[in-house]
Structure 1
């Protein structure tokens, strides 16, 4: 039931036909239902319909964006929460993310709808996309998620070591692409456990470990790693690495 509710909820924001949109609003929300945003409240079917129509006309009808569901639905008793994104119609990362918390009446219609828009949802989306692109391994696509100027830090001597040339200071998007290109050039099979992601506003910490193979020798190694990332306006502006770089360097004979 909750999955169906999510599908119907997202669909009404994308519905192009005014009559079908009106009907969907009356079926989803109770007669005295209210939708709350951080700055306004919309009481009753007419107000909710006007709110959705305004969003549709501004974002969806232009052909620029679409609303989609994200992640799983969590519910118990009469409470349901889920996340929605607004994404470019041609594909790409979300330009807006919102967490929705609704309370249902005994008929399963929404009587209270609280919509939270915050940095955390957008941060989590960008970090998840970064990890997905990291798995795919395309250096340029990874770099596209970074700002032109990046606060990049790691605990390693400034002089670096020729055995591990990718472990050095970086500062630009082009540097980021070069980093991941060099990383791929020196490694064979790469892997690791599924990382844990902790998000606080624009900041995220990714905890995991690296399990790689040295391409030249076939030697495998594992090293623990943490990343402190900051996301601003949909791109990564801070990339601080806390890893066991000494283990990595020793694997390459440094």
Structure 2
């Protein structure tokens, strides 16, 4: 790629990044009255923003987004490969009632913190995730909160394509506490939307919902099965996009 072409792509990526973050505030403000009355308003605002990001990525930087498999609609835990902010956007946009575990401090972010709460996100203090899960389940059973899809990331952080990172045992604790099926998700999005930097690359970013893992497995068996389905499928999606994999990874 010539220097001119690279510079033009970088500028379009910079504009894209600025526009998607700038759009959060007006969308949040526009939907706040509805969100105050009903959780549906907060969910609709978040889904609108996700659709805007997907549309703008295609139009401005040539990045198409594809969702494969069957997104769950019932009360499940979603355990996903995490490569960049884009997998968060695509997963949330594909399910009807997604929610995340969020740092309690984010609740105090103007507009966005309140929208997140109304979406059903679970604010937690560091080290008190188990108590937060019990409270969330109690509120659902009592009818004070809507059931939905809890989205978590078993590796705990964004992982570069092709890099091995351990799956954290806290995922098994949440799985046991919820007593729900777990839907694994594979992706290749980090090839096009890196975890750091401005540049967004053209291509087809994919997330894929995989067959669910039933509830009730022993923690070790659950973790082994989860990693055994997410990692090979994510590698296959990356290979499909042209990312070179070693014989061991493939």
TM-score w.r.t. structure 1 length?
A: 0.28
Structure with the greater relative contact order (CA < 8 A, sep ≥ 6): 1 or 2? 2
Higher normalized helix content (fraction of residues): 2
Higher Rg of the two aligned structures: 1
TM-score w.r.t. structure 2 length?
A: 0.28
Higher normalized strand content (fraction of residues): 1
